[in-house]
Structure 1
Amino acid sequence: MTNPVLVEVVRSGFTESAHRGSVVVTAPDGTVRLATGDVTSPMFPRSSNKPLQAVGMLHSGLSYDGADLALACGSHSGEPGHTERVAAMLAAAGLDESALACPPAYPLDETSMHAAAGPLRVTMNCSGKHAAMLATCVAAGWPTDGYEDPAHPLQKAIANAVVSLTGEPIAATGVDGCGAPLFAFSLTGLARSFGRLTQAAPGSDERRVADAMRAHPWLVAGTDREDTRVMKTVPGLLSKVGAEAVWAMSLPDGTALALKLDDGTKRGCAPLGVAVLRHLGVDVSELADLAAPAVLGGGREVGRLRVSWSAP
Structure 2
Amino acid sequence: MTNPVLAEVVRSDFVESVHRGALVITGPEGGVRLALGDVVSPVFPRSSNKPLQAVGMLRAGLRFSGEDLALACASHSGEPGHVKRVLELLSAAGLSEDDLVCPADFPLHVPSMRDAAEPRRVMMNCSGKHAAMLTTCVRADWPVAEYASPDHPLQRSLAEAVSSLTGEPIAHTGVDGCGAPLFAFSLTGLARAFGRIAVAPGGPEAEVASAMRAHPWLVAGTGREDTALMSAVEGLVAKGGAEGVQAFALPDGFAVAIKMDDGAKRACAPLAVEALRYLGADVSGLEELRRPVVLGGGQPVGEVRVPELR
The answer to whether TM tops 0.5 is: yes
Asked whether the equivalents of residues 274 and 308 of structure 2 are also in contact (C-alpha less than 8 Å), the reply is no
Asked whether the equivalents of residues 4 and 38 of structure 1 are also in contact (C-alpha less than 8 Å), the reply is no
Q: CA deviation at 1:311?
A: 2.9
Counterpart position of 2:309: 311
* Alpha-carbon displacement from aligned partner over 1:39-85 (angstroms, at most 9, x marks no partner): 00000000000000001111111000000000000000000000000
Asked whether the equivalents of residues 238 and 251 of structure 1 are also in contact (C-alpha less than 8 Å), the reply is yes
* Alpha-carbon displacement from aligned partner over 1:194-214 (angstroms, at most 9, x marks no partner): 000011123x01110011000
Q: TM-score, length-normalised on structure 2? A: 0.98
Distance in 2 between residues matched to 1:200 and 1:32, nearest whole Å: 19
Distance in 1 between residues matched to 2:3 and 2:227, nearest whole Å: 31
The residue type equivalent to 2:180 in the other structure is A
Distance in 2 between residues matched to 1:227 and 1:310, nearest whole Å: 21
- Does residue 57 of structure 2 align to residue 57 of structure 1? yes
Counterpart position of 2:260: 261
Q: Any unmatched runs of 5+ in structure 1?
A: none
Counterpart position of 1:236: 235
Counterpart position of 1:245: 244
The residue type equivalent to 2:309 in the other structure is A
Asked whether the equivalents of residues 24 and 39 of structure 1 are also in contact (C-alpha less than 8 Å), the reply is yes
Asked whether the equivalents of residues 5 and 23 of structure 1 are also in contact (C-alpha less than 8 Å), the reply is no
**3-state SS, counterpart of residue 267 of structure 1:** coil
Counting only pairs closer than 5 Å after superposition, residues 61-80 of structure 1 correspond to structure 2 as 61-80=61-80
Q: Which runs of 4+ in 1 moved over 6 A?
A: none
Counterpart position of 1:205: 204
Distance in 1 between residues matched to 2:96 and 2:34, nearest whole Å: 46
Q: Any unmatched runs of 5+ in structure 2?
A: none
- Does residue 38 of structure 2 align to residue 28 of structure 1? no
Distance in 1 between residues matched to 2:199 and 2:251, nearest whole Å: 7
* Alpha-carbon displacement from aligned partner over 1:78-102 (angstroms, at most 9, x marks no partner): 0000000000000000000000000
The residue type equivalent to 1:216 in the other structure is H
The residue type equivalent to 2:144 in the other structure is T
Distance in 1 between residues matched to 2:198 and 2:36, nearest whole Å: 24
Counterpart position of 1:88: 88
Percent of residue pairs identical:
66
Q: TM-score, length-normalised on structure 1? A: 0.98
- Does residue 156 of structure 2 align to residue 186 of structure 1? no
Counting only pairs closer than 5 Å after superposition, residues 1-312 of structure 1 correspond to structure 2 as 4-202=4-202, 204-307=203-306, 309-312=307-310
The residue type equivalent to 1:311 in the other structure is L
Distance in 2 between residues matched to 1:268 and 1:13, nearest whole Å: 18
